[in-house]
Amino acid sequence: MAKNQTKTKLLRGEPAYGITLTLGSPIAAEVLAQAGFDFVLVDNQHGLWDENETMMAFRGIVLSGATPMLRAQKNDYYTVGRALDRGALGVVAPMINTVEDAQELARAVRYPPRGERSIGPFGAAFHGPDYLRWFNDEAYLAVQIETIAAVERAEAILAVDGVDGCWVGPTDLAASMGLDLTVAADRKLHEETILRVVAACQKTGKIPGIAGRPHNSADWVQKGMRFVTVGSDGLILGERAKAILSELR
């Protein structure tokens, strides 16, 4: 039986750190998993991935000892199911704004009787022959909270059976609120709004998460976040390259 080590860690109350992959490179997925991240999130929403590259990335992530996770292209039963059939053990889905959105997502992720996922995980065979027996328990499902409408309904969304936690999208949240994050008062309101989601997680017993950056991820953990991405492959590659050149010059 495979074990979702990231989910195990989160359920113990410990933070789990991940990185988002946008560049469409399965080799980069393997290299970054070897860096020691708890999970690696293959971004099918905004990233440059096709289905086969996604599957190869999941395999490289598992080979390197991290948990393979997916940001789904959209909250759609068939889209989510096809990606899971390629080996993801966790799913983040964008723009979950209502209880009905969360229920539809939960339906797509787990097998009956806990969901309605169709059976046919042909690309997930590398997880072992007993995959169907343990998947429901080991799957991790996070709803993406990235609009003020979702924040207003966060407690009800998170209470949906099958939802394990959330992943706040700070940039889209700020846009939905009409905030300018160069303004101190707007930054304060932005943070207070995000902390409302943390409080909703605490009330429902679900796991709070956020799309962080290298400079603020530790601070978000101090504020209660546990499922935390520290940036993307493209962002970290570019920033590290600039830092190396700055040191040399």
Task: Please list the active-site residues.
Answer: 46
Query: What is the Cα–Cα distance from 8 to 75, expressed in whole angstroms?
Result: 25
DSSP symbol at 164? -
Look at the alpha carbons of 91, 95, 97, 99 in this order and tell me if their dihedral is positive or negative. negative
DSSP string, 34-84: HTT-SEEEEETTTS---HHHHHHHHHHHHHTTSEEEEE-SSS-HHHHHHHH
Q: Note every long-range contact of 25-29, with CB atoms under 8 Å and residues 24 or more positions apart, other chains counting.
A: 25/53, 25/57, 25/233, 26/53, 26/56, 26/57, 26/59, 26/60, 27/60, 28/233, 29/57, 29/58, 29/60, 29/61
Strand-pairing partners, residue 93, are 143
Instruction: Give the residues across from 159 on adjacent strands.
Output: none
Alpha helices per DSSP H over 139-232: 148-152, 154-158, 170-177, 184-204, 217-222
Other C-beta atoms closer than 10 Å to the C-beta of 140 total 24
Cα separation of the two ends of the chain? 51
